[in-house]
Amino acid sequence: MPVTLNTADADFETRFIEMLSAKREDSTDVHDAVAGIVARVRTEGDLALCELTARFDRLQLDPDGLRITEAEIARQVAKVSAEDRAALELAAERIRAYHERQLPRDESWVDDSGATLGWRWTPVSAAGLYVPGGQAAYPSSVLMNAIPARVAGVERLVVCVPTPDGVLNPLVLLAAQLSGVDEIYRIGGAQAVAAMAYGTETIEPVDKITGPGNAYVAAAKRQVFGRVGIDMIAGPSEVLVIAEGAQNPDWLALDLLAQAEHDADAQSILMTTDPALGHAVAGAVDRILPTLPRAEIAGASWRDYGTIIIVRDLQEAAQLSNRIAPEHLELCVDDPEALSQDCVHAGAIFLGAHTPEAVGDYVSGPNHVLPTARSARFSSGLSVMDFLKRTTLARLTPGALAAIGPAAMRLAASEGLQAHGASVEARLVQLNERQKE
Amino acid sequence: MPVTLNTADADFETRFIEMLSAKREDSTDVHDAVAGIVARVRTEGDLALCELTARFDRLQLDPDGLRITEAEIARQVAKVSAEDRAALELAAERIRAYHERQLPRDESWVDDSGATLGWRWTPVSAAGLYVPGGQAAYPSSVLMNAIPARVAGVERLVVCVPTPDGVLNPLVLLAAQLSGVDEIYRIGGAQAVAAMAYGTETIEPVDKITGPGNAYVAAAKRQVFGRVGIDMIAGPSEVLVIAEGAQNPDWLALDLLAQAEHDADAQSILMTTDPALGHAVAGAVDRILPTLPRAEIAGASWRDYGTIIIVRDLQEAAQLSNRIAPEHLELCVDDPEALSQDCVHAGAIFLGAHTPEAVGDYVSGPNHVLPTARSARFSSGLSVMDFLKRTTLARLTPGALAAIGPAAMRLAASEGLQAHGASVEARLVQLNERQKE
């Protein structure tokens, strides 16, 4: 049995806060190590990339070999089965359709003063997508990162994916191809982030870097932030399932285990109004867990972070959910729409018993790159907006300047910025002189 | 005369890249010092705030004195002249009107599979606004940070503003009052950012921190990013003015000086098709500069970073502008709308001779917190969006799950995530059994 909390217990608040503040990630400070790697890539370029790739990925490369060639991609992609290709194409199409609706509109209007105001959205010119390698080399992540960039209109799309021991992942390459990625490099870690931010002889720099990664990747993104844009610092994944009594315990157990199998640091939480359901789900998890190929990972996650919380009612569930601010929130209740209105801090909400979180990882359409570790309090999943920026526009007529310029002069004076005021005044003086003529 | 470049010169590209890559900020790494301050605030709370404020701001405080009281605010605000108040109110009203148009809409639709998809925007619960103190304590910055937060629907709005030697700024306090700020603390630097991110006995933590600041504030924001959201790492300000021949040289000179007077690290660039205009503007700057109270600062900026670039035509100007990606872009040309279409990387564009950048600092309506140091390539000025986050929503019907679930199972299998696939399969099995009945 995992930890079971009950909001009726006297020590609930203490234990809930304990759960909320539990650090699920190794907190080793890799700042200095990463700073060293970033500095090396900046000064030594391709040479540093080759040496670091040899060291970390056990792969000897010349600078010429950093980029995965079209021929290699074609060879790998040819290995993908028709069924896998069809599934990936369906996912790509649905993700594209969802994200196309996110394109924001430009605005322009004339206000009372006669000023024309507005803004305009334009895409980032070049984006770099980090795709984790090895155990977590997910083709679905390529789609989720690259398609929003393409929908936004990004001209140049780069992928960096480490290939430990030189092993390429055909589905990752196919996903990149389906998404319209322009360049793929077989590098990973902090060195990949540094290369995309600063450029090397072989890799032109990009303007924005997105995608999840380990502690080194996260630290590197943090350090290059400002030089380039980044999406977010992703932590271990989590799901909160809120369920009422009549739900199928096996389904809920599988949803919890689907989260747990990602990573030993992942967290699966069941919140239910029905203690019997909580008990049944815990039993189902115990029964199903040993049958999973990733039983060791899922078991560690469930043992260390799995939690069942018994609540009085759904209002209480929503309040606690808002404090958790879960990355994924499943509402397996009779009226999920109503409950979702009260759940204001969540990355993605899955409504009803026939929307398992796993469909959101692949094919439902919304992005699966979502805010973790309570950051849904202040941030959103990846979207088309991450690859766009907004330029504000203002055009004042002489009349508009006459109407609002004096207030600007007054405020400039109060802030001690005389040239600010004078730049307005010089124009107003001329307007006044013209009026006199 | 400042540096003058001419795109017709053989060494132009070299010199332009030199200008682009010139580091205008002192690059001292304050990471460790800031990490120490953040750690102290986390462990010692209010006590650390009081000690650090005594050290950096020469101000002895008890924890009780950290917050500026309503009575103090009222006393200070009463000192503001009617004219200053009216100017601030006009600015607040115009900023509010502009930002209200930024509120995005929720979306929901049913797709071909029968899935209901969409997203919903919700505000951040609590936001903290950093306002620089001393020389750069700008009431206009309070409006520009606080009003978008309020328009977004943020419930709790906190301001931290250092008050060196205990001196309060009546206009800053009035601006906070007009913007609907709930709490104001007289603390600054990395310690203020740490307090807002982690909370102390006196200060409840917030979810998002915005606002410009010095190197310590920037480093602190970088370090707490992830724990809370932040807006951007702001650097020294810059303006690019693109002008055709018939423009008034004095107006342009004042616009360049308005930027230069902010900070010795600020940069003012004039780009013109007319060498004679470039010469006239340089002369006007030399004439006006000594008359400014901030002549020393503006003079240093103009001497060290001021640049005049002679271009062949406006197409070339737009291309170079996109490489600069200026924070502020003034288009003093005959057809500024047409030229603005080609200027795709800029924080804010000011169109026409009667829209001096200074009106944008105060009263035109768009935000003056804008991306600096070429970051307009990938980021936008502060907006209502910075205080909102998006939750994606999906609800599948049994039919939708039957249609798209098998593709999810296939992709889960290819990624080795068996519980993912099983969570979909368990539901499909039941649907198939029901169909047979």
What is the nearest CA distance from B100 to chain A, expressed in angstroms?
Answer: 12
Q: Amino acid identity, residue B222?
A: R
What is the nearest CA distance from A409 to chain B, expressed in angstroms?
Answer: 8
Q: Model confidence over B144-196: pLDDT tens digits?
A: 999 999 999 999 999 999 999 999 999 999 999 999 999 999 999 999 999 99
The widest CA-to-CA distance across chain A, in whole angstroms, is: 92
Per residue, the 3-state secondary structure of A369-402, as one string, reads CCCCCCHHHCCCCCCHHHHEEEEEEEECCHHHHH
Q: Model confidence over B189-205: pLDDT tens digits?
A: 999 999 999 999 999 99
Residue of B nearest to A125 (CA): B377
Q: How far is CA A217 from the centre of its chain?
A: 14
A305 is known to lie in a ligand binding site: no
Residues of chain A with CATH 3.40.50.1980: 31-104+130-232, 235-378
Confidence class of residue A353 from pLDDT cuts 50, 70 and 90? very high
Distance CA B245, CA A343 (A): 58
pLDDT over 80 at B135, yes or no: no
What is the nearest CA distance from B292 to chain A, expressed in angstroms?
Answer: 7
Per residue, the 3-state secondary structure of A205-232, as one string, reads CCCEEECCCCHHHHHHHHHHECCEEECC
Asked if A194 contacts A46 with a C-beta cutoff of 8 angstroms, the reply is no
Confidence class of residue A232 from pLDDT cuts 50, 70 and 90? confident
Of B140, B235, B353, the CB nearest to A415: B140
Asked if A257 contacts B419 with a C-beta cutoff of 8 angstroms, the reply is yes
Query: Tokens standing for A14?
Result: 């203490």
A262 is known to lie in a ligand binding site: yes
A237 is known to lie in a ligand binding site: yes
Hey, are the CB atoms on A394 and B359 less than 8 Å from each other? yes
Hey, are the CB atoms on A419 and B111 less than 8 Å from each other? no
Q: Model confidence over B28-72: pLDDT tens digits?
A: 679 899 999 999 999 999 999 999 999 999 999 999 999 999 999
Hey, are the CB atoms on A398 and B354 less than 8 Å from each other? yes
A69: Cβ–Cβ under 8 A, 6 or more apart, which residues?
none
Q: Model confidence over B336-378: pLDDT tens digits?
A: 999 999 999 999 999 999 999 999 999 999 999 999 999 999 9
A to B CB pairs, distance under 8 Å: 379
CB atoms under 10 Å from CB of A196, counted, come to: 31
Return the C-alpha torsion angle B312, B315, B319, B321, nearest 10.
80
B383 contacts in A (CB within 8 Å)?
390
Annotated catalytic residue: which of A328, A330, A357, A368?
A328
Query: Tokens standing for B411?
Result: 């992709």
Hey, are the CB atoms on B394 and A288 less than 8 Å from each other? no
Q: How far, CA to CA in Å, does A99 sit from each of A160, B389, B422? A: 23, 16, 27
Q: Model confidence over B271-304: pLDDT tens digits?
A: 999 999 999 999 999 999 999 999 999 999 999 9
Unique residue bearing structure tokens 């917050």: B67
Helix/strand/coil for B31? helix
Annotated catalytic residue: which of A327, A330, A357, A368?
A327
Mean pLDDT of B310-323: 98
What is the nearest CA distance from B52 to chain A, expressed in angstroms?
Answer: 25
List the catalytic residues of B: 327-328
Indicate the annotated binding residues of B for Zn(2+).
259, 262, 361, 420
Distance CA A53, CA A59 (A): 6
CATH class of B31-234: alpha beta
Q: How far, CA to CA in Å, does B400 sit from each of A91, A150, B129, B392? A: 14, 26, 45, 17
A430 is known to lie in a ligand binding site: no
Residue of B nearest to A128 (CA): B378
What is the nearest CA distance from A123 to chain B, expressed in angstroms?
Answer: 8
Q: What is the pLDDT of residue B222?
A: 86
Buried b (16+ CB within 10 A) or exposed e, B206-241: bbbbbbbbbbbbbbbbbbbbbbbbbbbbbbbbbbbb
Q: Amino acid identity, residue A288?
A: I
Residue of A nearest to B424 (CA): A356
Hey, are the CB atoms on A426 and B344 less than 8 Å from each other? no
Hey, are the CB atoms on A396 and B171 less than 8 Å from each other? no
Residues, chain A: 437
Q: What is the pLDDT of residue B297?
A: 96
Confidence class of residue A213 from pLDDT cuts 50, 70 and 90? confident
pLDDT over 80 at A214, yes or no: yes
A415 is known to lie in a ligand binding site: yes
A328 is known to lie in a ligand binding site: yes
A379 contacts in B (CB within 8 Å)?
229, 389
Distance CA B235, CA B212 (A): 8
Hey, are the CB atoms on A411 and B140 less than 8 Å from each other? yes
Residue of A nearest to B388 (CA): A378
pLDDT over 80 at A137, yes or no: no
Hey, are the CB atoms on B208 and A427 less than 8 Å from each other? no
A367 is known to lie in a ligand binding site: no
Confidence class of residue A1 from pLDDT cuts 50, 70 and 90? low
Confidence class of residue B436 from pLDDT cuts 50, 70 and 90? confident
To which CATH superfamily is domain A31-104+130-232 assigned? Nitrogenase molybdenum iron protein domain (3.40.50.1980)
pLDDT over 90 at A291, yes or no: yes
Distance CA B262, CA B285 (A): 15
Specify the fold of A235-378: Rossmann fold (3.40.50)
Q: Strand B238-243 vs strand B229-230: parallel, antiparallel, or unpaired?
A: unpaired
Hey, are the CB atoms on A378 and B406 less than 8 Å from each other? no
Of A389, A393, A418, the CB nearest to B376: A389
From B259, B380, B127, B312, select the one nearest A412 (Cα to Cα): B259
pLDDT: which is higher, B307 or B26: B307
Q: Model confidence over B255-274: pLDDT tens digits?
A: 999 999 999 999 999 999 99
Of A140, A222, A390, the CB nearest to B225: A222
Asked if A34 contacts A223 with a C-beta cutoff of 8 angstroms, the reply is yes
Return the C-alpha torsion angle B239, B245, B249, B255, nearest 10.
-20
Specify the fold of B3-24+236-364: Rossmann fold (3.40.50)
ipTM of the complex: 0.94
Per residue, the 3-state secondary structure of chain A, as one string, reads CCEEEECCCCCHHHHHHHHHHCCCCCCCCCHHHHHHHHHHHHHHCHHHHHHHHHHHHCCCCCHHHCECCHHHHHHHHCCCCHHHHHHHHHHHHHHHHHHHCCCCCCEEEECCCCCEEEEEEEECCEEEEECCCHHHCCHHHHHHHHHHHHHHCCCEEEEECCCHHHCCCHHHHHHHHHHCCCEEECCCHHHHHHHHHHCCCCCCCCCEEECCCCHHHHHHHHHHECCEEECCCCCCCEEEEEECCCCCHHHHHHHHHHHHCCCCCCEEEEEECCHHHHHHHHHHHHHHHHHCCCHHHHHHHHHHHCEEEECCCHHHHHHHHHHHCCCEEEEECCCHHHHHHHCCCCCEEEECCCCCHHHHHHCCCCCCCCCCCCHHHCCCCCCHHHHEEEEEEEECCHHHHHHHHHHHHHHHHHCCCHHHHHHHHHHHHHHHHHHHC
pLDDT over 80 at A193, yes or no: yes
A356 contacts in B (CB within 8 Å)?
423-424, 427
**CA neighbours closer than 13 Å in the CB half-sphere of residue B242:** 32
